[in-house]
Amino acid sequence: MHMRPRALPPSSVRERFDVLLGPTGTGAERFGGTKGADRQILADAAAGGARFLVTEDVDDYGLDDLASVGISAANPDLFLAARLTRDAYSTVIDLFVERQLNPPTTPAQFHAAIARDHPRLFAAHADLYEVEPEQGIHGEPEVIFRGARCLRCEQIIADPATIIDGRGPECR
């Protein structure tokens, strides 16, 4: 794995927050509506009791496959905007900024830069810093959410078609 200088390896993050690796899932072949290697990822997530898969490739996962194990797949920007609290967001920005040496970055500058790849996350916390968002060069993927579990309340929604931007009818 290639990492930038001063980047925290995943193992350090797991140690810092006392997070264990989950079990390896079995029966990946049952996920026929999901693409190739993503079947094992879904099996692992199900074995670990995950409620959400956070992925840039939401459309690689079959709706029926996700619903069968009670997991929803969400684009990182959508997931973070819906789930990351203000305190957690500030903590994350502070962690990144303290490691930015060349060039040094202020929390406000880092927040503005987040908008390039995560415009929903920036918007969710736009009032935290008085700064304009940096413009991204990539558009949002066509599919940003798939599944039957609401991002807000985590409940399974009987009709997944009623989930809009990851939120069921009661949470919109």
- Say how far apart CA 11 and CA 31 lie, in whole Å: 29
Answer whether 62's CB lies under 8 Å from 29's CB.
no
- pLDDT, tens digit, 9 for 90 and up, residues 61-80: 999 999 999 999 999 999 99
Rounded to two decimals, what is the model's pTM?
Answer: 0.85
- pLDDT, tens digit, 9 for 90 and up, residues 92-138: 999 989 888 788 789 999 999 999 999 999 999 999 999 999 998 88
166 phi/psi in degrees, rounded to 5: 85, 0
